[in-house]
Amino acid sequence: MEAYSCHTIDELGRLLLHSELRQMLCLKAGDKVALKIISKIVTLQREADAKDFDSVICQVDELGRITIPTKVKEVLGWKETC
């Protein structure tokens, strides 16, 4: 199953994973997700399902957010704003 969704990253570099996406991936607060960059596309999957050691691991907070690591933002060419 493929699901595409656009989300806004807040001023602290956090991305809210909507409840529907969290349910689809069986994610709850404290769970870890693996982010992988493929040609400027970021994939997200549960850490337990990740088989790639090149992934960056993030933890889901109590509000369903993950913080996008600086390493990922740099690879994607995202600029920090002040």
pTM flag (> 0.85): no
18, 81, 44, 34 alpha-carbon torsion, rounded to 10°? -120
Whether 29 shows a pLDDT value over 90: the answer reads yes
Q: Is 28 contained in some domain?
A: yes
Question: Which pLDDT does position 82 carry in this prediction?
Answer: 47
Cβ contact 57:32 at 8 Å: yes
Task: Count structural domains, the chain.
Answer: 1
Whether 28 shows a pLDDT value over 90: the answer reads yes
pLDDT digits (tens, 9 = 90+) for 34-70: 998 888 788 888 888 887 777 888 999 999 999 988 8
Q: Is 59 contained in some domain?
A: yes
- Boundaries of domain holding 18: 14-76
